[in-house]
């Protein structure tokens, strides 16, 4: 099959999908940052897109019709970087149904990386949403041009492409100075994330705050629950079918749960480890945590940190999302709060590399800090396990099997 990967956003996701498709025997191209005509003057079976819904619908329809002129009407997989309801911008049941009809008409499916969010979206009427873990790939594929230069973008590649080059994922360093970044995080516990994101400063509807706080309490009490399960447990099943209420709930829940978790762990670890706990992100001054400003530099040095920490996503209830996968793909040692999907992310190493609460976090990290040999063994074992268990070459065949659901 032939795949065109495009869109705007976390392009590292597409790097991995691109290389995995090539290794699965397909033909693929990274059409970033924009789609040029020479790339689409041919039959294309499917588009895999980031932020599809930021593109005007008539532009999407024109692109699909143009590609169809070469003999194949392509299917579309949109990767959700936000809640699917937020992606389509629908606040009423009719708007949800209209968006769903449009996606059905044009064979567009929404890949959601969080099982609870996917279940919630389907309950709201978005029938084109499906769940699959995002996954990763050990390599990035590039192509050597006639002049000897290596090109990652705008070159169709397949397993038999002349000059095809595979680089370890961690070789992609970006523009930041990797050596400088390593010196900033070496022998430290590293956390990258916003303490109080700007978008959370918008007014939260006080009418839904008690519901959000009840669900947050249920999920802290039973960390394996995802959001929809906890909402049902709290008697919110009927309300969760209302799009406007769900959007208001999600905003309140982000503050009550995701931001609250980040802050409680960061405050406890800063108190316990001081300068050995390095935080990068904006908004931490609101809870008295000193932090470096947002920067791409530490991402190039995940491997140099004592451990890279995760306290949960702002958008999802899963532990498997782009930042945690980036840590694994860049060969960092990941240590996480134990919640939904950590069993899948850590497998047999979950008890060693996850923590339940603030005291457990301090105990777990203290033990790791004091035993470099144990850290090295755990890091190597977990990376091997996660890269195999969440390999896109294993995940993508199931995702692609749904492409035949043409209208």
Q: Domain 178-390 adopts which CATH fold?
A: Rossmann fold (3.40.50)
DSSP string across 48-97: EEESGGGS-HHHHHHHHHHHHTTT---EEEEEPSS-HHHHHT--SHHHHH
Q: Name residues whose C-beta falls within 8 Å of residue 193's C-beta, 6 or more positions apart in sequence.
A: 262, 280, 281, 311, 314, 323
Q: 374 is written with which tokens?
A: 């144990």
| Reported confidence tier of residue 207, pLDDT bands at 50, 70, 90 | very high
What pLDDT, on the 0 to 100 scale, is given for residue 174? 58
pLDDT tens readout for residues 116-131: 999 999 999 999 999 9
| Reported confidence tier of residue 368, pLDDT bands at 50, 70, 90 | very high
Vertex 293, ends 290 and 299: CA angle to 5°?
110
Q: 334 is written with which tokens?
A: 């990941």
Mean pLDDT of 80-109: 96
Name the pTM for this structure: 0.94
Q: Which of 269, 287, 274 is nearest to 195 (CA)?
A: 287
> Rounded CA gap, 111 and 83, in Å?
11
Strand partners, 168: 139
Asked if residue 1 lies in contact with residue 380, where contact means CB atoms within 8 angstroms, the answer is no
Domain borders along the chain are 2-169+393-404, 178-390
Q: Which of 254, 219, 229, 248 is nearest to 116 (CA)?
A: 229
pLDDT tens readout for residues 32-47: 989 999 999 999 999 9
pLDDT tens readout for residues 287-316: 889 998 888 788 888 989 999 999 999 889
Mean pLDDT of 246-270: 92
Asked if residue 189 lies in contact with residue 307, where contact means CB atoms within 8 angstroms, the answer is yes
Q: 164 is written with which tokens?
A: 């095809």
Strand order in the sheet with 354-355: 277-280, 189-192, 307-310, 334-337, 354-355
Q: What is the DSSP letter of 6?
A: E
Asked if residue 139 lies in contact with residue 168, where contact means CB atoms within 8 angstroms, the answer is yes
What pLDDT, on the 0 to 100 scale, is given for residue 366? 96
Please determine, for residue 143, whether its predicted confidence score (pLDDT) is greater than 60: yes
What pLDDT, on the 0 to 100 scale, is given for residue 39? 96
DSSP string across 168-223: EGGG---SS-HHHHHHHHBTSEEEE--SS-GGGGSPP-TTTHHHHHHHHHHHHHST
Vertex 311, ends 226 and 189: CA angle to 5°?
155
């Amino acid at each position: 099959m032939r795949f065109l990967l495009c869109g705007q956003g976390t392009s590292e996701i597409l790097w991995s999908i691109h290389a995995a498709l090539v290794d699965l025997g397909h033909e693929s191209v990274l059409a970033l940052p924009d789609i040029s005509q020479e790339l689409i003057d041919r039959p294309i079976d499917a588009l895999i897109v980031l932020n599809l819904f930021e593109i005007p619908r008539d532009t999407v329809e024109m692109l699909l019709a143009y590609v169809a002129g070469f003999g194949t009407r392509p299917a579309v997989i949109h990767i959700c970087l936000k809640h699917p309801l937020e992606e389509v911008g629908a606040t009423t049941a009719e708007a949800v149904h209209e968006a769903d009809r449009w996606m059905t008409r044009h064979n567009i499916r929404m890949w959601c990386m969080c099982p609870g969010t996917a279940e919630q979206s389907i309950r709201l009427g978005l029938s084109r949403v499906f769940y699959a873990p995002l996954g990763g790939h050990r390599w990035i594929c590039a192509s050597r041009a006639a002049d000897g230069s290596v090109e990652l973008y705008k070159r169709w590649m397949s397993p038999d492409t002349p000059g095809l080059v595979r680089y370890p994922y961690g070789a992609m360093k970006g523009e930041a100075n990797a050596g400088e970044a390593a010196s900033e995080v070496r022998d430290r516990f590293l956390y990258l994330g916003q303490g109080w994101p700007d978008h959370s400063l918008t007014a939260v509807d006080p009418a839904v705050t008690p519901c959000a706080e009840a669900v947050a309490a249920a999920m802290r009490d039973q960390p394996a629950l995802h959001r929809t399960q906890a909402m049902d447990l709290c008697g919110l099943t009927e309300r969760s079918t209302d799009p406007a209420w769900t959007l208001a709930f999600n905003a309140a829940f982000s503050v009550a749960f995701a931001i609250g978790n980040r802050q409680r762990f960061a405050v406890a670890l800063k108190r316990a480890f001081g300068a050995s706990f390095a935080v990068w992100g904006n908004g931490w001054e609101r809870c008295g945590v000193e932090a470096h400003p947002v920067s791409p530099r530490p991402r190039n040095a995940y491997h140099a940190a004592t451990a890279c920490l995760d306290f949960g996503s702002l958008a999802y209830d899963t532990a498997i999302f782009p930042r945690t996968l980036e840590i694994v793909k860049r060969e960092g040692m990941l240590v996480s709060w134990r919640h939904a999907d950590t069993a899948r992310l850590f497998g047999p190493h979950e008890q060693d590399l996850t923590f339940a609460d603030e005291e457990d976090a301090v105990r777990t990290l203290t033990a790791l800090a004091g035993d470099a040999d144990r850290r090295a063994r755990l890091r190597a074992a977990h990376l091997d396990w996660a890269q195999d268990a969440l390999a896109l070459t294993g995940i993508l065949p199931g995702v692609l099997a749904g492409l035949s659901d043409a209208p």
